[in-house]
Structure 1
Amino acid sequence: MNIIFSLDQIKEAATQILAQNPKKIILFNGEMGVGKTTLIKQLCKTLGVQDATSSPTFSLVNEYYTSDNQIVYHFDFYRLNKETEALDMGVDDYLYSGNWCFIEWSEKIENLIPGEHSVVTIQLLADGKRELNLV
């Protein structure tokens, strides 16, 4: 799936992503500031998370519950120095839990990512819109 959207169309973009029935582990790729966290916040909202969501840059993972008690994990591995740090925090338990796992900066743990996952790549276009590719 490939779409182009502006930030005021992010709700529709999130709905389109979920309509594609992606794997529950989704890697989010893109430059710093392209909108990965903003998109993940909207995906959480679209899934039914009612609590406030934020970037887990310092905590590495945030856990949210949807209105129907699904668990959503949001990871941000930007500050990770080596994969063993992720193992020390129990990343395997999260990744093999069967719950939604939205992962920013997944290249920091590339050897730990299960084979069954989807990838969202976001690119900022010259006009300020975003191009999103889901595979």
Structure 2
Amino acid sequence: MNIVFSLDQIQEVAEQIIASNPKKIILFNGEMGVGKTTLIKQLCKSLGVQDATSSPTFSLVNEYYTSNNQIVYHFDFYRLNKETEALDMGVDDYLYSGNWCFIEWSEKIASLIPEEHSTVTIDLLADGKRNLELV
């Protein structure tokens, strides 16, 4: 799936992603500031998370519950120095839980990512819009 969008269309983009039935582990790739966290916040809302969501930059993972009691994990591995730090926090338990796992900076734990995952890549275009590719 390929979508060109502006940030005011983020709700529709999140709904399209969910409707496309992606794997529950989704990697989010893109430069800093391109909108990965903003999209993840909207995905959480579209899945029924009612609590406030934020980037887990310092905690590495935030856990949210949807209105129908599904769990959504949001990871931000930007500050990770070694994959062993992710193992120490029990990342395998999260990744193989069967719950939604939204992962920013997944390249920091590349060898730990399960084969069954989807990838969202976001690029900033010259006109300020974003190009999103979901595979």
| TM superposition score normalised by structure 2 | 1.00
Q: SS at 2:80's partner residue?
A: coil
Matches within 5 A, 1:17-36: 17-36=17-36
> Sequence identity, in percent?
89
Matches within 5 A, 1:3-22: 3-22=3-22
1:16, 1:2 → 2: CA distance? 10
Matches within 5 A, 1:29-108: 29-108=29-108
Q: Could you list the per-position Cα deviations for residues 28-60 of structure 1 after superposition, in whole angstroms to 9, with x for gaps in the alignment?
A: 000000000000000000000000000000000
Aligned CA-pair RMSD: 0.2
Q: SS at 2:114's partner residue?
A: coil
| TM superposition score normalised by structure 1 | 1.00
Letter of the structure 1 residue corresponding to residue 106 of structure 2: S
What 5-or-longer segments of structure 2 have no aligned partner? none
Confirm or deny that 1:121 pairs with 2:102: no
Q: Name the count of aligned residue pairs.
A: 135
1:121, 1:19 → 2: CA distance? 17
2:129, 2:18 → 1: CA distance? 20
Runs of 4+ in 1 over 4 A off after TM superposition: none
